[in-house]
Amino acid sequence: MAWMFSSLLQVSLFCLAISGVSVSGATFSPVLPPSYPLAVRNPYLSAWVPGNQVANLATATPQFWQGQNLTWSVLARVGGTTYKLFGAPAALSSSVAATLMSAEYTSSHSVFTLAARDVATFTLDFFSPVSPKNYVRQSLPFSYLTVSVDAKTASKVQIYSDIDETWTGQSGATVSTFTKSGGVTLFQLSVNGAVQYSENARSQALWGQTILGAKASTGITITHGSGTPSAIRAEFASNGSLSNAAPAFATGNVVAISQGLGSITSGSVTFGIGYVREAAINYLGNARTGYYRAQYPDTLSALSFFFDDYADALSESKTSDSLLVQKAVAAAGTNYSDILLLTTRQAYGGSDLTIPNDTLNTSDIMVFLKEISSDGNVNTLDVLFPAFPIWYVMSPEYLRFLLEPILQYLETGRWKQPFAIHDIGTHYPNATGHDDQVEEDMPVEESGNLILLAYAYITATGNTAWGQDYLSIFTKYADYLVTGGLNEPVQLATNDCCGPLANQTNLAIKAAIALNAYGKLFGAENYSSVGLSFANQLFTNGLGLDSAKTHFKLQYGSNVTYGKDSDYAVVFNIFPDILFNLGTFPSSAFDMLASYYPTQQGQAGVPLDSRVDWSSTFWTHWAGAAGAKQTGGVEVRDMFIDNVWAFMTNGMNTPPFSDRWFAVPGSGGLIGGTGDVVGAFDTWRNRPVVGGHFAVLALDGPGQF
């Protein structure tokens, strides 16, 4: 399949060239995204570089996901001349900015190739492994930066990287420690006296340690230094090495590592960058730590292993990167593949894979997910639900690891409502529950989500015993849906920005499917019949339809605001009916949707419902996947995918993959300001919900990797 990959790449490069995205002669494959992931592994290790800066990579400024600048520079010296490769300030006397030749992203690498005059070519490979079945590898809070060089003639080459306290979340209180042991060179920066589990105002963790490290290997001379950036960079530029001094850290300083390759024509060096939290998560008052700590209980041993694991991690990534391209292209073409490759690190990078900090019991795995950007809630059920297709496709066990902390909390009885909880903590990393019963209630939404996620996990893995363990919880929420799933009091659903409403058609569709799923999962046909009767009323009897029966309205009932024929909703909740082949809704419902959605296509997409001017990248993937097997459904699926691709590549945006954009001009109505710019992203960045882009691929079945 390799031939397929490369010929498709050429096609999309050709498209780029004609659409003018080729900047200053560099090529971008598969496309130029809004932002490139550099070190993206968990909610607190999330460094990116905006796409509009990479043409000048040598002086680009990387950012934390929320947009604040990070200092992270890379310099190289060839035969005595210093070249700026990345993140290096304009003013470094007598140095030469290398020129970008190409930029590429895969699902785990962002790779930049630069020319240092005609003397050498450098490749910077920012590699954040996505290895959800290798729990040690996945939980390590580090990323690789490998710098490779090809020189025209044998020359002395040295490569340098530095960082500063922009990574610690609080300047002015930084403590630096330096360790050289077992071949590992390690700087750790932390905030003196930081409060455990606290964040700064821009979402950076304060209580851990930022690390920059390297490991000795044959033929490479490692030196280190710390001081003002001008002094340390000048020292590297003039001497090609650092003085091995690590004085007390002062604000404004950098810590730096240089690796000398000797006289060579080609070679490479690797740096590790990371953010370590021993107490990673506060789960109901108990500290949980990274899974890796069962084997590597301290930062030095973990980092040493991380370097030793490089070849295996690289080989795994090459296999899964190309498998993903192959599967995505086969499922829905190159636009789809381009989207999934940019999605993967962000989706897995929203979570931490943990075990208890005290027992380090590796059978007690829990994954915690941060509702990044929207509010910081922990394991929000209506974030797990939209994101679940990525785990379903790549690592179904994750579904259990994500649900365990919720279910174990519900089992304590401390959550007293008759419906499922929204999340298990108001702000990551404090998964402390809601004993006060105060949270953002979404009764039908979360009750349906929990049942459908359990259905996804159990059917993907065959672990029916687990379903029995929590049967009473699932039954309680199924009973809630029987009562409240069709005659729905005013309540919020997942698009909470739009306010609470009664009788939301899309929500009732979820209730119907969840009840049928519960019935099938636990052999309780009477629940399935309630689900089928909801579906029958909503669709066949037309309760949820407009009078001409062309689409589902936003609301149904006699006393609702958005129940007019012109009101519609993209009913993404219908997708699990197709994915799980439940048959809750007849095939004609999906035919109707396939005919309807194209009629709502606006300037840059289909607004998510008739109130709003924006669309959602992941929910429209769900809607596209739902109809993909119907007549006309492939065209609708591709319309939704192409809309997201156009948004991702329109050159108007620079944050990490935003999942919401303005699809039509704002009308100044309820939700749709007149200043909204069509094609621009709307507020959110780096949310793990993008995992929902895997919905189309999920149709090929669970556990494909």
Ligand X SMILES: *[C@@H]1O[C@H](CO)[C@@H](O)[C@H](O)[C@H]1NC(C)=O
Question: Rounded CA gap, 86 and 62, in Å?
Answer: 9
**Of residues 216 and 502, the one with the C-beta less far from ligand X:** 502
Which of the ranges 308-316, 584-592, 611-619, 640-648 carries the binding residues for ligand X, by CB under 6 A?
640-648
Question: Rounded CA gap, 148 and 525, in Å?
Answer: 61
Q: How far is the CB of 439 from ligand X (least distance, A)?
A: 15
Is residue 375 part of the contact set for ligand X (CB under 6 A)? Answer: no
Question: Rounded CA gap, 553 and 545, in Å?
Answer: 5
Answer for which of 340, 347, 390, 530 binds ligand X (CB under 6 A) is: 530
Q: Which residues contact 76 (CB under 8 A, 6 or more apart)?
A: 82, 83, 85, 98, 116, 120, 122, 147, 149, 157, 158, 159, 160
Q: How far is the CB of 408 from ligand X (least distance, A)?
A: 9
- Contact string (CB under 6 A) for ligand X, positions 31-60, x = contact: ------------------------------
**Of residues 316 and 439, the one with the C-beta less far from ligand X:** 439
**Of residues 376 and 386, the one with the C-beta less far from ligand X:** 376
Is residue 364 part of the contact set for ligand X (CB under 6 A)? Answer: yes
First to last CA, the chain: 16
Answer for which of 199, 397, 446, 676 binds ligand X (CB under 6 A) is: 199
- Contact string (CB under 6 A) for ligand X, positions 573-612, x = contact: ----------------------------------------
**Of residues 1 and 14, the one with the C-beta less far from ligand X:** 14
How far is the CA of 49 from the CAs of 61, 371, 461, in angstroms? 7, 21, 38
Is residue 333 part of the contact set for ligand X (CB under 6 A)? Answer: yes
Nearest to 551 by CA among 591, 585, 498: 591
Which of the ranges 126-134, 438-446, 526-534, 628-636 carries the binding residues for ligand X, by CB under 6 A?
526-534
Is residue 679 part of the contact set for ligand X (CB under 6 A)? Answer: no
Is residue 502 part of the contact set for ligand X (CB under 6 A)? Answer: yes
Question: Rounded CA gap, 478 and 514, in Å?
Answer: 8
Question: Rounded CA gap, 568 and 551, in Å?
Answer: 7
Answer for which of 487, 566, 599, 683 binds ligand X (CB under 6 A) is: 487
Q: How far is the CB of 639 from ligand X (least distance, A)?
A: 8
Is residue 503 part of the contact set for ligand X (CB under 6 A)? Answer: yes
Answer for which of 546, 642, 650, 679 binds ligand X (CB under 6 A) is: 642
CA atoms within 13 A on the CB side of 246: 18
Contact 510, 486 (CB under 8 A): no
Q: Which residues contact 674 (CB under 8 A, 6 or more apart)?
A: 666, 667, 668
Helix (H), strand (E), coil (C) string for 227-265: ECHHHHHHHHHHHCCCCCCCCCCCCCCEEEEEEEEEEEE
Is residue 97 part of the contact set for ligand X (CB under 6 A)? Answer: no
Q: How far is the CB of 290 from ligand X (least distance, A)?
A: 11
Q: Which residues contact 171 (CB under 8 A, 6 or more apart)?
A: 165, 251
The DSSP-derived string for 484-536 is: HSSSPPSB--S-GGG--BSSBHHHHHHHHHHHHHHHHHTT-HHHHHHHHHHHI
Q: How far is the CB of 3 from ligand X (least distance, A)?
A: 18
The DSSP code for 295 is T
**Of residues 7 and 559, the one with the C-beta less far from ligand X:** 559
Answer for which of 13, 119, 216, 482 binds ligand X (CB under 6 A) is: 482
Question: Rounded CA gap, 147 and 116, in Å?
Answer: 13
- Contact string (CB under 6 A) for ligand X, positions 232-271, x = contact: --xx--xx---x----------------------------
**Of residues 93 and 265, the one with the C-beta less far from ligand X:** 93
Question: Rounded CA gap, 383 and 395, in Å?
Answer: 17
Question: Rounded CA gap, 556 and 487, in Å?
Answer: 10
| Cα 582–Cα 609–Cα 337 angle in degrees, nearest 5 | 65
Q: How far is the CB of 199 from ligand X (least distance, A)?
A: 4
CB atoms < 10 A from the CB of 408, how many?
15
- Contact string (CB under 6 A) for ligand X, positions 285-314, x = contact: --x---------------------------
- Contact string (CB under 6 A) for ligand X, positions 419-438, x = contact: --------x--x--------
Answer for which of 204, 317, 335, 494 binds ligand X (CB under 6 A) is: 335
**Of residues 179 and 362, the one with the C-beta less far from ligand X:** 362
Is residue 359 part of the contact set for ligand X (CB under 6 A)? Answer: yes
Answer for which of 55, 279, 407, 677 binds ligand X (CB under 6 A) is: 279
Binding to ligand X, residues 61-80 (CB under 6 A): 61, 69
Which of the ranges 263-271, 552-560, 569-577, 611-619 carries the binding residues for ligand X, by CB under 6 A?
552-560
Could you tell me the sign of the dihedral formed by the alpha carbons of 423, 426, 432, 437, in that order? negative
Is residue 678 part of the contact set for ligand X (CB under 6 A)? Answer: no
**Chain length of the chain:** 705
Helical segments of 536-677, H only: 575-579, 587-596, 617-627, 633-649
Q: How far is the CB of 153 from ligand X (least distance, A)?
A: 25
Q: How far is the CB of 510 from ligand X (least distance, A)?
A: 15
Which of the ranges 104-112, 186-194, 345-353, 354-362 carries the binding residues for ligand X, by CB under 6 A?
354-362
Question: Rounded CA gap, 97 and 101, in Å?
Answer: 13
Nearest to 355 by CA among 440, 269, 297: 297
**Of residues 195 and 548, the one with the C-beta less far from ligand X:** 195
Which of the ranges 165-173, 192-200, 570-578, 590-598 carries the binding residues for ligand X, by CB under 6 A?
192-200
Binding footprint of ligand X, residue count (CB under 6 A): 41
**Of residues 477 and 645, the one with the C-beta less far from ligand X:** 645
The DSSP code for 420 is -
- Contact string (CB under 6 A) for ligand X, positions 444-473, x = contact: ------------------------------
Helix (H), strand (E), coil (C) string for 127-148: ECCCCCCCHHHHHCCEEEEEEE
The DSSP-derived string for 575-589 is: HHHHHTT--SS-HHH
Q: Which residues bind ligand X (CB under 6 A)?
A: 61, 69, 195, 197-199, 234-235, 238-239, 243, 278-279, 287, 333-335, 357, 359, 361, 363-364, 427, 430, 482, 486-487, 502-503, 524, 526-527, 530, 543, 557-560, 642, 645-646
